[in-house]
Structure 1
Amino acid sequence: MPVKKSALTLALLGGLTLTACDDGAKHDTADISLPPAREGVVTDRFARMALGCIHREYPNKISHVLNSDADVGAPRDLTPAFYGCFDWHSSVHGHWLLVRLIKQDPEGPFAEIATDALAESFTAKNIEAEVAYYMAEGRKGFERPYGIAWYLQLVAELHESSDPLHQKWRETLRPLEDAIVAKMTAWLPKLAYPVRLGTHNQSAFAFGLMLDYARTVDDGAFEALLTERTLDFYEDDTSCPIGYEPSGEDFLSPCLMEADLMRRVMNQADFAVWLGRFLPRIPRNGKGDWLEPAIVKDATDGKLVHLDGVNLSRAWALEGIASALPQGDPRKASLLAAASIHKDTGIKAVSDEHYAGSHWLASFATYLETKRGINENL
């Protein structure tokens, strides 16, 4: 069935675009240019990248279980809220990025067009279809846990806002939120072992985002379950082999994400002791060269460019770990020095030159740049 796209969607796709309209005719639609990024405002670049992909349907990689011929469909038909940015999870955190930056800079040059873009996605009809997709047969593990955690982070971002429109969207997203929390609550007790990969299935990163969500929305039962599972899996860990990182396609550090999670569930004194056992070789000399940034040799390769992400996520994990240590702890300076090196390398790599990275790296850069997940000043 032909799908009518808004002028906003067409603008975000860029260039002269042929679009199918309700009458089946095709019309040329002139490009509406996005505002230029302000000099020295790095988050403007990130907003442009998210706006350029959240309603860009193709190329698209879907993780889709077919139960019958009836399940064959275009991404916009299968998941009409989150069909852009190459895959579902990147679309979700692209939407999160825009909400985050609107809240940070409501008078910025991208706030109005970002609001329009979000409004196009956040409709009751779209979320109803997302819930139906998520709850369908054979999709028990859909986007679990990475994309699921980002969706809950998106809800948390809206929940914190005092803007009436954001509160309206927060309620619009609630049906999928409720379905996700119910599934996660059923899954967590069944997970016999943590997943220690450096990619989407890693449990530590997702647990951190989900914990932050649970505390933001005051879901004590979900928080307690996540805390219990975190301690079950990680409290007795020692001597994490960070020298073996990264693997060739990592975008998350198994060691650092675990430590960034544990600082969320332990008091300061206990965490400082635990960290000494878990990462005993953190220097005490204030230098950051103990952990070298990852190298990307082909930014057009969607798997290899993951390593740009590992630099960004390492940076925010290092900052988070440092934030949880007591003032005067001799490890703080070396953690922050390594974070600075990784941040500088990672931010420089965030570019719209290659879609392999541009469809998702801006979200990681925004999480880092805006210090999401850190509640205290370093």
Structure 2
Amino acid sequence: MKKSVVTFALAAGLALAACDSGNNQGTATEDRTLPAPRDGVVTDRFAHMALSCIHRQYPNKISHVLNSDADVGAPRELTPAFYGCFDWHSSVHGHWLLVRLMKLDPDSPFADIAEDALAESFTPENIKAEVAYYTAEGRKSFERPYGIAWFLQLVAELEESTHPVHQQWRETLRPLEEAIVTKMTDWLPKLAYPVRLGTHNQSAFAFGLMLDYARTVGDGAFEALLAERTLDFFEGDTSCPIGYEPSGEDFLSPCLMEADLMRRVIGEADFAVWLGRFLPRIPRNGKAGWLEPAIVKDATDGKLVHLDGVNLSRAWALEGIASALPEGDPRRTAILAAAAVHKDAGVKAVNDEHYAGSHWLASFATYLETKRGIM
């Protein structure tokens, strides 16, 4: 099989250029040989991209509170399990991507390499250090809620797997999982208002992933708290201004992510009625034109390339919304038509040409292609 060499940056100075440069890889490198993606298997391309970054340390953007000189350190020292892929949350969902594809496609030519790479990250020592970092003074809001939700999704993926190695990793991650659930359980009742942005702090997207986690692991108390907060925040919403979307740096739709969350907590008949109030202009003509895909004018810009992500996340939210409506609902055809054009635009944009997008878009594409939010 044709081989291609992927270079991983493992050591360099903290002052390296930011992600927008897309080319700086550090001064010391480790080469791993990855198989070429199989023809027609789009998820192989996504696995290739994740393996190209989960142990690539630089460029790196950290959100790091310093309490003293002792807190100064390289990313691989501060968070030794999740230091690659430019930032903590992208590293986490890059690891999730590999676990998901190992589980769904165990015969993939990437499976063994993915297992080796994940085993390098998922050690008791690394997770102990992650817990120490996460629970340290001044980090109450670290990666809350976006990165936290993706970590819990990673745990849910492992929980569902029957693979012995996955079960071992699931136990290895448990200390960080428990610290996160404890902190989220304390925070959720204090959140007076939802965050309706189209970026990392959005409440609806994170609540959806956390709900799926709680149901997968059987944490009824956490599930009940999330469902209660969801209804408190969103049950009475009407006429979401989807025509104002997307904002210039969105990677999540505020309106569609809210609807995709609400279909998780209310029954089919109630959801159909709620959706009519919330998005009253969804057409019944079966056409996709009511929601146009976003346009990216500079794929090297780490903020502007977010809009490739909004196309992918809109597509999976639309598919989720349609899945929760009755079969005969006249809106389903137009919803699925819009999902299809967004999926086409989004998946076409997922490539390794520019690190600004390649370090994270493959995870969004995998979530969509494998229907994670529905299955």
TM-score using structure 1 length: 0.92
Please name the residue that 2:223 is paired with: 223
The 1:374–1:28 alpha-carbon spacing in structure 2 relative to 1, beyond 3 Å, is: closer
Q: 1:13 aligns with which of 7, 27, 30?
A: 7
Given that residues 35 and 110 in structure 1 are in contact (C-alpha distance below 8 angstroms), is that contact kept between their aligned partners in structure 2?
A: yes
Matches within 5 A, 1:153-302: 153-302=153-302
CA deviation map 1:194-226 (0-9, x unaligned) = 000000000000000000000000000000000
Please name the residue that 1:147 is paired with: 147
Distance 1:238 1:13 in 2: 49
The 1:276–1:28 alpha-carbon spacing in structure 2 relative to 1, beyond 3 Å, is: closer
Given that residues 127 and 173 in structure 2 are in contact (C-alpha distance below 8 angstroms), is that contact kept between their aligned partners in structure 1?
A: yes
Please name the residue that 1:24 is paired with: none
The 1:336–1:67 alpha-carbon spacing in structure 2 relative to 1, beyond 3 Å, is: same
Partner of 2:61, secondary structure, is coil
Matches within 5 A, 1:314-325: 314-325=314-325
Please name the residue that 1:306 is paired with: 306
Report whether the alignment pairs 1:65 with 2:59.
Answer: no
Distance 1:333 1:109 in 2: 37
Given that residues 215 and 223 in structure 1 are in contact (C-alpha distance below 8 angstroms), is that contact kept between their aligned partners in structure 2?
A: yes
Given that residues 314 and 339 in structure 2 are in contact (C-alpha distance below 8 angstroms), is that contact kept between their aligned partners in structure 1?
A: yes
Partner of 2:33, secondary structure, is coil
Given that residues 7 and 29 in structure 2 are in contact (C-alpha distance below 8 angstroms), is that contact kept between their aligned partners in structure 1?
A: no
Please name the residue that 2:360 is paired with: 360
Please name the residue that 1:343 is paired with: 343
CA deviation map 1:243-277 (0-9, x unaligned) = 00000000000000000000000000000000000
Please name the residue that 1:77 is paired with: 77
Given that residues 12 and 56 in structure 1 are in contact (C-alpha distance below 8 angstroms), is that contact kept between their aligned partners in structure 2?
A: no
CA deviation map 1:81-134 (0-9, x unaligned) = 000000000000000000000011001100000000000000000000000000
The alignment-based identity, stated in percent, is: 83
Please name the residue that 1:108 is paired with: 108
Letter in 1 for 2:49: M
Q: After TM superposition, give the deviation of residue 373 of structure 1 in Å.
A: 1.3
Q: After TM superposition, give the deviation of residue 80 of structure 1 in Å.
A: 0.1
Matches within 5 A, 1:112-131: 112-131=112-131
Letter in 2 for 1:369: E
Given that residues 12 and 55 in structure 1 are in contact (C-alpha distance below 8 angstroms), is that contact kept between their aligned partners in structure 2?
A: no
Partner of 1:316, secondary structure, is helix
Distance 1:134 1:250 in 2: 27
Q: After TM superposition, give the deviation of residue 294 of structure 1 in Å.
A: 0.3
Distance 1:190 1:18 in 2: 40
Q: After TM superposition, give the deviation of residue 32 of structure 1 in Å.
A: 3.6
Distance 2:317 2:340 in 1: 11
Please name the residue that 1:56 is paired with: 56
Q: After TM superposition, give the deviation of residue 29 of structure 1 in Å.
A: 7.6
Given that residues 12 and 53 in structure 1 are in contact (C-alpha distance below 8 angstroms), is that contact kept between their aligned partners in structure 2?
A: no
Partner of 1:13, secondary structure, is strand
Q: After TM superposition, give the deviation of residue 12 of structure 1 in Å.
A: 5.0
Given that residues 299 and 305 in structure 1 are in contact (C-alpha distance below 8 angstroms), is that contact kept between their aligned partners in structure 2?
A: yes
Partner of 1:201, secondary structure, is coil
Please name the residue that 1:6 is paired with: none
The 1:30–1:371 alpha-carbon spacing in structure 2 relative to 1, beyond 3 Å, is: closer
Q: After TM superposition, give the deviation of residue 31 of structure 1 in Å.
A: 3.6
Please name the residue that 2:93 is paired with: 93
Given that residues 54 and 85 in structure 2 are in contact (C-alpha distance below 8 angstroms), is that contact kept between their aligned partners in structure 1?
A: yes
Distance 2:218 2:311 in 1: 32
Given that residues 198 and 253 in structure 1 are in contact (C-alpha distance below 8 angstroms), is that contact kept between their aligned partners in structure 2?
A: yes
Please name the residue that 2:372 is paired with: 372
Distance 1:353 1:35 in 2: 18
Q: After TM superposition, give the deviation of residue 13 of structure 1 in Å.
A: 2.8
Q: After TM superposition, give the deviation of residue 33 of structure 1 in Å.
A: 2.1
Given that residues 296 and 308 in structure 1 are in contact (C-alpha distance below 8 angstroms), is that contact kept between their aligned partners in structure 2?
A: yes
Partner of 2:35, secondary structure, is coil
The 1:18–1:295 alpha-carbon spacing in structure 2 relative to 1, beyond 3 Å, is: closer
- Higher RCO (CA < 8 A, seq sep 6+): 2
Given that residues 46 and 365 in structure 1 are in contact (C-alpha distance below 8 angstroms), is that contact kept between their aligned partners in structure 2?
A: yes
The 1:30–1:92 alpha-carbon spacing in structure 2 relative to 1, beyond 3 Å, is: closer
Distance 2:365 2:299 in 1: 16
Distance 1:28 1:239 in 2: 54
* RMSD (Å), alpha carbons: 1.5
Given that residues 152 and 213 in structure 1 are in contact (C-alpha distance below 8 angstroms), is that contact kept between their aligned partners in structure 2?
A: yes
- Report the count of equivalent residues: 357
Q: Runs of 4+ in structure 1 displaced over 3 angstroms?
A: 27-32
